[in-house]
Structure 1
């Protein structure tokens, strides 16, 4: 850091930098209106295109293969 001679110059420069930083980073308030709710989607919740038997048998085969490895 550069030498400024006395501490009052350092204090003045630091105060100026702090005030500049506060001025630049001013926070603006956002619009306080509530956002509208999304419309509800009606229908088949979470449709699973593959049957549970196929998934279960696949998991069972993978578990057996892992045990015999």
Structure 2
């Protein structure tokens, strides 16, 4: 399934494919080269387009991730 991750204010964060069926209340960790961001799914919507294209939009609230002392050294 194709997912699009948005902040609750509507800012697009990322797009990805996954067989997992995400639900409201689940946490998602988004990794890039330098950072890891933590999101809680607040709501989700389904967009169905012509030719059977289906996109699930996850609207999320970002949580602050605190690094432990050993990670920040």
TM-score, normalization: structure 1? 0.15
TM-score, normalised to structure 2, is 0.15
| Greater fraction strand | 2
Larger radius of gyration: 1
